[in-house]
Structure 1
Amino acid sequence: MTRLISIEFQKLYKNRASKFLILTYFILLSFIALIASIKFDFGTFRLHIAEQGIFNFPFIWHFNTYIASIFKLFLAIVIVSMMANEYSYGTLKQNLIDGISKKEFVLSKFLMVIAFALASTLFIFIMSLLLGYSFSSYTEISIVFSDLDYLLAFFIKLVGFFSFCLFLGILVKRSAFAIGFLLIWTIIESIVSGILRWKIFPNTDIYEKINQFFPLESMSNLIKAPFTRLSAIKNIETTITGEEIARDYGVHFGGVLIVIIWTIIFIYLSYWILKKRDL
């Protein structure tokens, strides 16, 4: 297993585009800290983002993992590019000639998926601790390390999404087409979701129960948008509607299980395609 990871890291190290995208990804994650410096002044109205509690423990775990997941496309491009390069440069065929089985090849790619997700999660964990201890009003240990299930959800979400991208890279062989297919799949899920919501099951929540099993939707559901948890947003909603709207922001075992199952499906399909394909 160590040998497989070493081979993959050597391939990444020799690819300038991949190194640039990976570096850009982590730099963008670091920019979350810049949110603390954002201030708005409109006459007598002043808004300092950091003062709204976004970096308070334990809310920061929810906020940072949600924002960080937006940038996952950068690593997705790296993953599909890795597969495209395997076909373009003939390294896949050479690896098989050198004695690596197709199962080991897929495993090596999946290990890279896990490595990317783990590095991202660790990075967000460290950055959240630094930001939290700098701006949070609550620094008790029991509060600081509560709601860490958002980090687990973030890790599972990235593993699932990157596994999907790996599957597309193996299926399509070209990085541009794989990313295009990903965008098309996103649009298809949105259209089907809209049809279920407005045409087939209007005025009910049945469409949500069906949507949760779609691959990208299931990953999205792991970490819901945190902005309506902010007191400023709640006050605006209460003023408009006259009551506080109850929402569920938690990470649920059922949602995690769905993404894990999709991850297993994508990895198996990747192996099945590679096994059946004539290289």
Structure 2
Amino acid sequence: MKRLLEIEFIKLWNNRASKALIISYFILLTSIALIAAVKFDIGPIKFHLAEQGIFNFPYIWHFNTFITAIFKLFLAIVIVSMMANEYSNKTIKQNLIDGLSKKEFVLSKFLTVISFSLVSTIFVFVVSLILGLVYSDYNEISIIFSELEYLFAFFIKLVGFFSFCLFLGILVKRSAFALGFLILWAIFENLGIRFLVWGFMGKEASEKVLDFLPLESMSNLLKEPFSRLGAVQSVAKQIGEEFNMDYVVHWYEILIVLFWTGCFIYGSYALLKKRDL
């Protein structure tokens, strides 16, 4: 496995575009700390975002993983480009000639996906821990390390999403078309399937069906955290509204994403095995 990872990282690091995107991605993950600097001081109105509780433990684990998950598109571009380069540069054929089996080739890509996801998760953990220790009103050990399931959900979400991108990269072969297909699928899943099922089974049933689809199931792992804020809930109560959302990371949501991850990796191998390279 170490050999397979070394091969992949050498390819990525020797590609300028991939290197720039990877560095940009981790810079963006770090830039979440800049949120703490957001201040508005207009006459009697003074607003400091960091004082609104967004960096309080354990809420910070939910907030930061939700926000940083948005930046996953940077690594998605790296992954689909990685596969496109394999075809355009014919390195995939050369790897197979040099003795790498198709199974090992797909495994090397999946190990890269896991590595990206794991490093991202560790990075978010460290940045969040530092921000929390600086700004959180709660510094008890039991509170700091509660709700870490959001980090696990973040890791699973990235593995699932990047596995989907890997599958699209192998299926379509060209990065621009693969990314276009990803966008089209997101639209089709969120609008096309939603209204199709809604028409036949009703709104409530359509929502349940959507929960089992790839991108929607990944999205369900980290629900929006903003309505958890005390300030938001306070405003909602003043206008007669109340939030009753379920923010918990459920085990069955994890299983659905893991199922799709398995399908994408097996599908990648099946496509590669079938093709004459």
On whether the aligned pair clears a TM of 0.5, the verdict is: yes
Alpha-carbon separation, structure 1, partners of 2:103 and 2:241: 56
- State the shift of 1:197 in Å: 7.6
Aligned with 2:266 (options 258, 265, 268): 268
The answer for the alignment partner of 1:213 in structure 2 is: 212
Aligned with 1:254 (options 252, 266, 277): 252
The answer for the alignment partner of 1:238 in structure 2 is: 237
The answer for the alignment partner of 2:98 in structure 1 is: 98
Give per-residue Cα distances to partners, 1:202-233, cap 9 Å, x unaligned.
5x532221111010000000000100111111
Structure 1 counterpart of 2:24, one-letter code = T
SS across alignment from 1:8: helix
Give per-residue Cα distances to partners, 1:100-143, cap 9 Å, x unaligned.
00000000000000000000000001001100000001011000
Q: Pick which of 154-163 and 225-234 moved more.
A: 225-234
Percent identity over paired residues: 66
- The answer to whether residue 3 in structure 2 is matched with residue 9 in structure 1 is no
Instruction: Give the aligned CA root-mean-square deviation in angstroms.
Output: 1.3
- Counterparts of residues 20-59 of structure 1 (less than 5 Å): 20-59=20-59
Alpha-carbon separation, structure 1, partners of 2:241 and 2:197: 25
- State the shift of 1:243 in Å: 4.5
SS across alignment from 1:47: strand
The answer for the alignment partner of 1:87 in structure 2 is: 87
Structure 2 counterpart of 1:226, one-letter code = P
Alpha-carbon separation, structure 1, partners of 2:171 and 2:196: 29
Structure 1 counterpart of 2:226, one-letter code = F
- State the shift of 1:245 in Å: 2.1
Give per-residue Cα distances to partners, 1:69-88, cap 9 Å, x unaligned.
00000000000000000000
- State the shift of 1:278 in Å: 1.0
SS across alignment from 2:46: strand
Q: Is the 8 A contact 2:163 2:261 kept in 1?
A: yes
SS across alignment from 1:205: helix
- State the shift of 1:25 in Å: 0.3
Structure 2 counterpart of 1:275, one-letter code = K
Alpha-carbon separation, structure 2, partners of 1:47 and 1:235: 16
Alpha-carbon separation, structure 1, partners of 2:42 and 2:201: 44
Alpha-carbon separation, structure 2, partners of 1:11 and 1:98: 15
Alpha-carbon separation, structure 2, partners of 1:206 and 1:232: 33
The answer for the alignment partner of 1:146 in structure 2 is: 146
Question: Unpaired runs of 5+ in structure 1?
Answer: none
The answer for the alignment partner of 1:75 in structure 2 is: 75
The answer for the alignment partner of 2:224 in structure 1 is: 225
Structure 2 counterpart of 1:252, one-letter code = H
Alpha-carbon separation, structure 1, partners of 2:260 and 2:107: 16
SS across alignment from 1:41: strand
SS across alignment from 1:40: strand
Cα distance change of structure 1 residues 249 and 17 upon mapping to structure 2, 3 Å threshold: same
Alpha-carbon separation, structure 2, partners of 1:199 and 1:261: 27
Structure 2 counterpart of 1:160, one-letter code = G
- State the shift of 1:41 in Å: 3.4
Q: Is the 8 A contact 2:227 2:243 kept in 1?
A: no
Q: Is the 8 A contact 2:194 2:207 kept in 1?
A: no
- State the shift of 1:20 in Å: 0.2
The size of the alignment, in residue pairs, is: 277
Alpha-carbon separation, structure 1, partners of 2:193 and 2:44: 43
- State the shift of 1:198 in Å: 5.8
Give per-residue Cα distances to partners, 1:159-214, cap 9 Å, x unaligned.
00000000000000000000000000011011135415864455x53222111101
Alpha-carbon separation, structure 2, partners of 1:198 and 1:162: 29
- The answer to whether residue 195 in structure 2 is matched with residue 195 in structure 1 is yes
